[in-house]
Structure 1
Amino acid sequence: MDVPLPLVPAKILTAPTTITQFPDYPKTLILEQCKTIKDLNQIHAHLIKTRLIHNPRVAENLLESAAILIPNLPMDYPISIFEKLEEPNSACYNLMIRAFTLKQSPNEAILLFNEMCGRSVRPDEFTFPCILKACSRLHALMEGEQIHALIMKYGLGSKGFGSNGFVLNALIGMYASCGEVEVARHLFDGMSERSVGTWNSIFSGYIRSGCWEEVVGFFREMLEMEVGFDEVTLVCVLTACGRLNEIELGEWIHEYVVAKGLKGNPTLVTSLVGMYAKCGRVDTARRLFDEMPRRDVVAWTTMISGYSQANRHREALELFHEMQKTNIVPNEVTMVSILSSCAVLGALETGKWVHSYVMKKRMKLTVTLGTSLMDLYLKCGSVGNAIEVFRKMPSKNVFSWTVLIQGLANNGQGKRAIQFFNSMVEKKITPNNVTFTGVLCACSHAGLVDEGRGFFVSMTREFGIEPEIEQYGCMVDILGRAGLIEEAYQFINNMPIQPNAVIWRTLLASCRVHKKVEIAEESLKNVVKLEPMHSGDYILLSDIYASVGRLEDALRLRNQMKERVIKETPGCSVIEMNGIIHEFFSEDNIHPDLVEVYNATENMMEKIKLAGYVPNTTGARLDAEEDDKESSMSHHSEKLAIAFGLIRTSPGTTIRITKNLRVCMDCHNATKIISNVFNREIVVRDRNRFHHFKDGSCSCNDYW
């Protein structure tokens, strides 16, 4: 006989915890035993039921629990409590102002302070530090000065707020964070007694204002006066040491940390990691990082940023992959650092993963994060994705617009870049020098000479921006690329500022394209005076000599390089495959798949020869035989990387290459034919710009 089984509910409900005995004076219960939203709801209900909610002290305790003590509780809850208070006192206002500031809503804190004053609730000594901190967060100098006036009004007499250390510390911090460091220092100097907290207030203010030299000088003064300091002080000073490359002082602090047994402080050790990384001692930073028993997101991000800032981008990505194996959740700063490394390496797939992670975690698309995503896509030649991110950004600043304009220019979409510039101006966003560099680059790459002249003039006439060396360089490039070599030469000679090596190098590169030997020789003379050891300059003139048949002069110049021990920078091309970065060098002999790659390259070159490719050996070694020249040209780094991409990706997949040097004429011609023969889109980012090869043509229209 079958015995029926008892019914089991799908979900077993546990009875809510109840407060068996509610004390007459519930302060301890509310502030110490109330740990969760559930507890808060139960206590709140009981207070309403018993009408204890109308007791100001009890209401204040409940408000403190809701606004400050219980983590991750939205401000809606404490606001609902606060709004039902008949006559909230200064303590209640203080709690709400503090909560808004802590929860990154300083605007609301200031509005509430204004309401407090409007309702004639007198601020007390605890109000001012909270509201001044909100002003510091917003860099709200005008509001801070008004609050300072109130402090003076209420602080008459020796026992007033004006002599309160906490209030003065907050004032010092407010003025320093708003850039008024002299006012902050004046307040500091006028204090008869200074605690460590006072010193830290001005240190923190200097840090927020970027006054790195003042921080270091102030700390040295502190040591001479034998004033005590704490770990907060050291964190500030280490930050300044990193910015100023003050490695000796940083090492002294490191020795102090070890001697005083402070290596257990993760914030302090993380600051040491950051200091060493910024001072170029990345390996020392990594050793410290590896020794840390516990590493939070700030520690991981600091080390990743250190690699990124030191141009060790592959190691930054490798460390990020290690971080993913832990339970540490990356933050916005982590994402920005990784996107920066992805952008430099052209690691589009890893960058796309970061983008999908940002969306999955519903991270706010801030100006910084959104601009970093745009920069990644633009530096990987993915213009459509960059514009999509730009349009989805809730707010944009001049830097966001500038990155887009510059990126479009570099990707051969000069006219589109100018359209976005015009939209930017229409939206009343004032361009800066860097914006005009982007616009002028757009004119240069698109051959828009007259437009370029117009923008250059409008900088001063319409926007009051005096051109700097970068904008003068763009004008030389615009004229030179268009073949107006003599005009470009005269433009340089008439410049009101001294031309640098980049200006003359730009003209020299244009001379190579248009085979202007005499001006090229003059350009090299001027470059060598400024940067005598740059190999690319000699190679440019050597190539010009070779292109006009002056082989003896070309050989002479190459021999000069050898005599002066000027080493030629080897060509290096990078391709990302399944999240792994592969590097190829010209005539590579170290890649692990070398045999396979060379076989694929020979096969590729044979096929494009059948399609009409004729090797251009002008840029090959002058002392080599013709067959050797052709072989050398076929083993340029971008050709090896493209061949690798052809055999390791499925048909139709876009191949993306990043190269450290300018693409040579032969590789440019070869890649156009490769794109047609193998039916592939190939995106090559060289030192100057992007080349989008498709169906046998390039986005630059052979104008680069």
Structure 2
Amino acid sequence: MTYAPAVLPAKPAPRLVQLPPAANPKTIILEQCRTLRDLHQIHARLIMTGAARLPSVAENLLECSALLLPGSLDYALEIFRAAPRPHAQAYNILIRAFIRNNAPQEALGLFLRMLACSVPPDKHTFSCVLKVCSRLCALRDGKQVHAHAVKCGLASEEFVVNSLIHMYASCGEVVVARKLFDRMPKRGIVTWNAMFAGYFKAGDWGEVVELFRGMLELGIAFDEVTLISVLTACGRMGVLDLGEWIGDYVEANGLKRCHNLVTALMDMFAKCGEVDKARRLFDEMPSRDVVAWSAMISGYSQANRCQEALALFHVMQKAKVEPNEVTMVSILSSCADLGALEMGKWVHSYIKRKRLHVTVNLGTALIDFYAKCGCMESALETFEEMPNKNAWSWSVLIQGLASNGQGREALKVFSLMLETEFQPTDVTFIGVLSACSHAGLVEEGQILFDSMSSEYGVQPRIAHYGCMVDLLGRAGLIEEAYHFIKSMPIEPNAVVWRTLLASCKIHKNVNFGEESLKQIIKLEPRHSGDYILLSNIYALVGRWEDAVSVRNQMKEKGITKIPGCSLIELDGTIFEFFAEDSSHPQSKEIFSKVNEIITKLKLAGYVPNIAEARLDAEEDEKEVSVSHHSEKLAIAFGLMKSPPGAVIRVSKNLRVCTDCHLATKLISKVYKREIVVRDRNRFHHFKDGSCSCTDYW
């Protein structure tokens, strides 16, 4: 078979630019140049006419090639080199071109050449070069430029001062920037925004808010750029009143057309806990970019409305909007909180498929996700693959190992962190002390606590003292833990006393349990879990009347018990179970499965611990009450719906009770299943009748 050669269209004739005899060269260059070929033709004609020797014409040629036409910077450099004595304007054009082409070092080098050639810089030169110093965070160079501007008498020019403010703030010298700002006799909106940008970059959110309040008091006009900075600060600080005022201003002045401003307003509401207001703004937006989607998803995630975050992410996918790093981090955080392993794995595979750069934030979010789903092998693998790590990455890994019952491995990772010369932070030590607490390493924990300030310069916070109380209390050293609290240099909070109370339940210590609750009530009188803990202590030692009395106190004070809730993910869907809840569509089958499980467990030697039943349950109902705890319902559903041999993963909002812990150990043996339960404090990996916590939790 033969093929006829394809007939190719004729090449288009090059477009010739005709120069009228009396035309202004500047007009011709700026209006008729469309391509580099046009520029070459015009340049050739200007050389022939002699007009190219005029400085103004040469500068316009330079501006066209350097700033207006893409990919023509090399040609601009040739024009510049051909100029006999370029003026400041020519240098300014080329410096701006280097900045635009992300070549700040070349821009700085050109400025030095300008000075070497004795070409006096003007205010625009200083403004551009100071922007370069800002981008490079080159404080020393910036100070030298500032000194030269003073010598030239241009340091008071508004253009230059604005750039100086931005440069000093970008380089971390916000106090110097503010002094320059305060000295200015007259400040335009650009100056104010430069100061806002400085505080913004430094993360001084309080100063952003205060500066704006001062601006309002002086009656100075602001613009949309100002409001975006202030809304971001309001969100970070939780300053809802000012954020709402800006929201009313935006509505009253018809500024909702500004997409970036509405996105900032939405993000502020979400970060201040007003997620529903944020969602209304989001739904009203005519078009939404990835920043808007990410802000809304992040808002749901931070408000612990994780299922809504995942649902919105699915809508985002249907809208074919490509997620960015912020989206991925928020979704991974939601998956971590829900224990949604399959969804999080999909996110990780998406990152790999799209070859997204694994930044420190994204890599750390992946480690945290895997650790909170009980998959420490995947967490360690992700950590090893990360191109860059920081102290936060190490700390998350250490905390993950600690909560998954690998305390000694956590301490090994901490030693490796020190060997690689990463300085531990206060967060690192929370992980390390938690590792010692969960592993019963009392002596090691005390040594590490003492070394915090003496060796690493980290002053213990209330959280570290709480870790030490937990360490001593879990080990049964209840009296030592109590005296530790009494000798603390800072006032203990409710969490510290609650930690001791939890240890009193483990070790059935009534006296210190009663004292702990007494102290907690002074600080947080309406926390239901505290009353439940003391009630359970009474029940465990057989003091049923006292247990009922505590529950009655709760009723009198109108304090309701937080219901036990367990989550399980199957085929990418999250199922939620509450204790003794029959609202699930398959509740009959689930309860039937529970009865089957209990029957088999009893044959294996299981005896239900009715001390963990509801106190108001009748004697003949106590066993049923215990068997219908939320995690037992979730595990039964997992056995029903997952394939044989598959790992069952459950997340619970409360601490696992002793009866469920014993029952789950036996279920793992009888049904030959690995079961991973994450409770409020830690992970329990059940396999072949034993638990990773070695019954120390």
TM-score (norm 1): 0.88
Structure 2 CA distance for partners of 1:609 and 1:260, relative to 1, 3 Å: same
Q: Structure 1 counterpart of 2:457, which letter? A: G
Task: State the match for 2:150 in structure 1.
Answer: 152
1:211 to partner: Cα distance = 2.8
SS of residue paired to 1:253: helix
CA distance in 2, matches of 1:230, 1:523: 54
Q: Which moved further from structure 2: 501-510 or 166-175?
A: 166-175
Task: State the match for 2:467 in structure 1.
Answer: 474
In the alignment, is residue 186 of structure 1 matched against residue 179 of structure 2? Answer: yes
Structure 2 CA distance for partners of 1:525 and 1:92, relative to 1, 3 Å: farther
1:441 to partner: Cα distance = 0.6
Instruction: Check conservation: 1:63, 1:81, Cα contact below 8 A.
Output: yes
Give 1:576-655 correspondences, 5 Å limit.
576-655=569-648
Structure 2 CA distance for partners of 1:226 and 1:522, relative to 1, 3 Å: closer
SS of residue paired to 1:263: helix
CA distance in 1, matches of 2:379, 2:33: 48
Deviations 1:308-347 (A, max 9, x none): 2222111111111111111321111111121221111111
1:243 to partner: Cα distance = 3.0
Task: State the match for 1:7 in structure 2.
Answer: 4
Deviations 1:196-254 (A, max 9, x none): 11111112222222333333333233233332221111212222232343333333322
CA distance in 1, matches of 2:654, 2:11: 69
Instruction: Check conservation: 1:273, 1:303, Cα contact below 8 A.
Output: yes
Instruction: Check conservation: 1:60, 1:91, Cα contact below 8 A.
Output: no
Instruction: Check conservation: 1:93, 1:112, Cα contact below 8 A.
Output: no
Instruction: Check conservation: 1:684, 1:691, Cα contact below 8 A.
Output: yes
CA distance in 2, matches of 1:359, 1:61: 43
In the alignment, is residue 129 of structure 1 matched against residue 140 of structure 2? Answer: no
Which of the residues 331, 334, 347 maps onto 1:338?
331
Structure 2 CA distance for partners of 1:51 and 1:614, relative to 1, 3 Å: farther
CA distance in 2, matches of 1:358, 1:514: 47
CA distance in 2, matches of 1:689, 1:330: 31
Structure 2 CA distance for partners of 1:5 and 1:412, relative to 1, 3 Å: same
Which of the residues 149, 167, 170 maps onto 1:174?
167
Instruction: Check conservation: 1:575, 1:583, Cα contact below 8 A.
Output: yes
Structure 2 CA distance for partners of 1:163 and 1:553, relative to 1, 3 Å: same
State the Cα RMSD in Å.
3.2
Which of the residues 241, 247, 261 maps onto 2:234?
241
Deviations 1:124-176 (A, max 9, x none): 544443443454455554443343233324x32xxx2x133222212212323
Which of the residues 486, 490, 503 maps onto 2:483?
490
Instruction: Check conservation: 1:27, 1:61, Cα contact below 8 A.
Output: no
Q: Structure 2 counterpart of 1:690, which letter? A: F
Deviations 1:102-138 (A, max 9, x none): 67x6xx5246515642673665544443443454455
SS of residue paired to 1:576: strand
Task: State the match for 1:562 in structure 2.
Answer: 555
Which of the residues 260, 273, 297 maps onto 1:267?
260
Q: Which moved further from structure 2: 226-235 or 312-321?
A: 226-235
CA distance in 2, matches of 1:355, 1:607: 39
Q: Which moved further from structure 2: 613-622 or 242-251?
A: 242-251
Task: State the match for 1:215 in structure 2.
Answer: 208
Structure 2 CA distance for partners of 1:266 and 1:33, relative to 1, 3 Å: farther
Task: State the match for 1:64 in structure 2.
Answer: 66
Could you list the runs of 5+ residues in structure 2 that have no partner in the other structure?
A: none
In the alignment, is residue 113 of structure 1 matched against residue 105 of structure 2? Answer: no
In the alignment, is residue 317 of structure 1 matched against residue 319 of structure 2? Answer: no
Which of the residues 210, 217, 226 maps onto 1:224?
217
In the alignment, is residue 549 of structure 1 matched against residue 547 of structure 2? Answer: no
Q: Which moved further from structure 2: 551-560 or 144-153?
A: 144-153
SS of residue paired to 2:651: strand
SS of residue paired to 1:684: strand
Instruction: Check conservation: 1:30, 1:61, Cα contact below 8 A.
Output: no
Q: Structure 1 counterpart of 2:4, which letter? A: L
Deviations 1:7-65 (A, max 9, x none): 365xx877776633267899889978888xxx66x67998999999x997588457525
Instruction: Check conservation: 2:29, 2:61, Cα contact below 8 A.
Output: no
Which of the residues 428, 437, 449 maps onto 1:444?
437
Q: Structure 2 counterpart of 1:220, which letter? A: R
Task: State the match for 1:198 in structure 2.
Answer: 191
Q: Structure 2 counterpart of 1:358, which letter? A: I
Structure 2 CA distance for partners of 1:571 and 1:113, relative to 1, 3 Å: same
1:418 to partner: Cα distance = 1.1
Task: State the match for 1:366 in structure 2.
Answer: 359
Could you list the runs of 5+ residues in structure 1 that have no partner in the other structure?
A: none
In the alignment, is residue 699 of structure 1 matched against residue 692 of structure 2? Answer: yes
Structure 2 CA distance for partners of 1:560 and 1:184, relative to 1, 3 Å: same
CA distance in 1, matches of 2:359, 2:580: 44
Task: State the match for 1:19 in structure 2.
Answer: 14
Q: Which moved further from structure 2: 195-204 or 213-222?
A: 213-222
SS of residue paired to 1:575: strand
Q: Structure 2 counterpart of 1:414, which letter? A: G
SS of residue paired to 2:525: coil
Task: State the match for 1:252 in structure 2.
Answer: 245
Q: Structure 1 counterpart of 2:112, which letter? A: C
Q: Structure 1 counterpart of 2:570, which letter? A: M
Instruction: Check conservation: 1:374, 1:387, Cα contact below 8 A.
Output: yes
Q: Between the two proteins, what is the percent identity of the paired residues? A: 58
Q: Which moved further from structure 2: 594-603 or 87-96?
A: 87-96
Structure 2 CA distance for partners of 1:646 and 1:451, relative to 1, 3 Å: same
Instruction: Check conservation: 1:97, 1:110, Cα contact below 8 A.
Output: no
Q: Structure 1 counterpart of 2:248, which letter? A: E
Instruction: Check conservation: 1:305, 1:316, Cα contact below 8 A.
Output: yes
CA distance in 2, matches of 1:479, 1:80: 74
CA distance in 2, matches of 1:34, 1:328: 36
Which of the residues 497, 501, 513 maps onto 2:506?
513
Q: Which moved further from structure 2: 128-137 or 644-653?
A: 128-137
Structure 2 CA distance for partners of 1:102 and 1:662, relative to 1, 3 Å: farther
Give 1:682-693 correspondences, 5 Å limit.
682-693=675-686
Q: Structure 2 counterpart of 1:152, which letter? A: V
Instruction: Check conservation: 1:93, 1:113, Cα contact below 8 A.
Output: no
Q: Which moved further from structure 2: 562-571 or 122-131?
A: 122-131
Q: Structure 1 counterpart of 2:149, which letter? A: I
SS of residue paired to 1:288: helix
1:291 to partner: Cα distance = 0.9
Q: Structure 1 counterpart of 2:14, which letter? A: I
Deviations 1:549-593 (A, max 9, x none): 222222222222222222111111112223222211111133333
Q: Which moved further from structure 2: 142-151 or 475-484?
A: 142-151
Structure 2 CA distance for partners of 1:5 and 1:696, relative to 1, 3 Å: same
CA distance in 1, matches of 2:94, 2:651: 53
Give 1:284-363 correspondences, 5 Å limit.
284-363=277-356
CA distance in 2, matches of 1:446, 1:259: 59
Instruction: Check conservation: 1:254, 1:272, Cα contact below 8 A.
Output: yes
CA distance in 2, matches of 1:468, 1:485: 21
In the alignment, is residue 387 of structure 1 matched against residue 380 of structure 2? Answer: yes
Q: Structure 1 counterpart of 2:66, which letter? A: E
